[in-house]
Structure 1
Amino acid sequence: MKDDSLIFSALIGAVASARSMTPMATIAAARLLDRRTPGQLVLLDRPLFRNGALAMGVGELFGDKMKTAPDRTVFLGLLARVMSAGIAGAALAPRGRERAGALTAVATAVPLAYLTLAGRKRAMARMGQTRSGLIEDALVVAAGAAIVALAVRPSNGLQSR
């Protein structure tokens, strides 16, 4: 894979389409493990924001199962996806291509939010809100963790910043 690829930014955008806080939470977890992102990391190196991202990621997993949880395509849901995907997409982009990474992640997250919502509604009709949400959580969190783990891995024995 080319060093200037934006594939990790696009993939983390797909994660944001289903769970808005998971991209930032997975990057925050990677930072706690002292892993570095290829692109410049905005905010999540500060303990308040890092811990906040982790708390919001966990909170979203619980809140999604509530009967009153709004659809992910309402204005605030899309705004959260834009912000989280943008921050994570920039962090996972190659150094110097952070802006392109942010745009790629956002351009992936927003349209896919409508597709992931449609899929979730079909799953809810078949198995209920909680069960479908738990399955979606497992898939999305695993995908987010895998994407971030692949993106932040050290190259040539050195960690990239």
Structure 2
Amino acid sequence: MLRSLLIGLVAGQRGLTPLAAIAIATQRREVRPELPLQKLLLNPVIAEGAIALAGAEMAGDKMKSAPDRIRPLGLIVRSITSAYAGAALAPRNERTAAAAIAVGAALLSSYVGWRLRVAAMQRYGQTATGLIEDAIVGAAGLAIANPKLVAGKRTRRR
């Protein structure tokens, strides 16, 4: 369940990144498409749409009008995507607990990440801190959901 906890930490910073990471992992067959609606992620258009949404969230984060991640809607999105990704990364008999762990991690890290980002923005600005956060969060999400990709191993296509 470590991967579920870690993907929850990712969700706390960027709500749609876990869904994009699971879409990539599902496409690569690193995660089996067993959850409700997950087989949709086998469709390249749907998977690329999830990735595009995560990218749009990252781009929007740099705007002055971007809402704080700790707003209710942001926390709801993070809860949903972290639960789904956490469950997808867990063995079948541990999915409920993994989803709960991922949600807890997402909510906690939303507040911690927000505080850290606010402090960093005072010194380095919104765009610079956001780009660094995007790089860390994007790479982490990809690595957590797709360990073979990071290790340079090929996955078997079916």
Is 1:45 the counterpart of 2:42? The answer is no
- Among 65, 68, 84, the residue aligned to 2:65: 68
Gaps of 5+ in 2: none
Deviation at 1:152, TM superposition (A): 8.9
**1:106-145 superposed matches below 5 A:** 106-145=103-142
- CA distance change for structure 1 residues 152 and 96 in 2, over 3 Å: closer, same or farther? farther
Matched residues in 2 for 1:70 and 1:158: separation? 38
Q: Does the Cα contact within 8 Å between 2:68 and 2:114 map onto a contact in 1? A: yes
Task: Find the residue that maps to 2:38 and give its secondary structure.
Answer: coil
Matched residues in 1 for 2:51 and 2:145: separation? 14
Deviation at 1:98, TM superposition (A): 1.1
Is 1:83 the counterpart of 2:116? The answer is no
**Equivalent AA in structure 1 for residue 7 of structure 2:** I
Cα RMSD (Å): 2.3
Q: Which residue of 1 aligns with 2:11?
A: 16
Q: Which residue of 2 aligns with 1:54?
A: 51
Q: Deviations over 1:98-157 (max 9, x none)?
A: 11111110011001100000011111111100010000000000111111122899xxx9
Gaps of 5+ in 1: 1-5
Is 1:94 the counterpart of 2:91? The answer is yes
**Equivalent AA in structure 2 for residue 68 of structure 1:** S
Matched residues in 2 for 1:53 and 1:158: separation? 21
Q: Deviations over 1:21-42 (max 9, x none)?
A: 000101112222x323268333
Q: Which residue of 2 aligns with 1:147?
A: 144
Task: Find the residue that maps to 1:45 and give its secondary structure.
Answer: helix
- CA distance change for structure 1 residues 140 and 88 in 2, over 3 Å: closer, same or farther? same
Task: Find the residue that maps to 2:3 and give its secondary structure.
Answer: helix
Q: Does the Cα contact within 8 Å between 2:13 and 2:110 map onto a contact in 1? A: yes
Aligned residues: 150
**Equivalent AA in structure 1 for residue 13 of structure 2:** A
Q: Deviations over 1:10-31 (max 9, x none)?
A: 0000000100000010111222
- CA distance change for structure 1 residues 39 and 63 in 2, over 3 Å: closer, same or farther? same
More helix by share: 2
Q: Percent identity?
A: 44
Q: Which residue of 1 aligns with 2:29?
A: 35
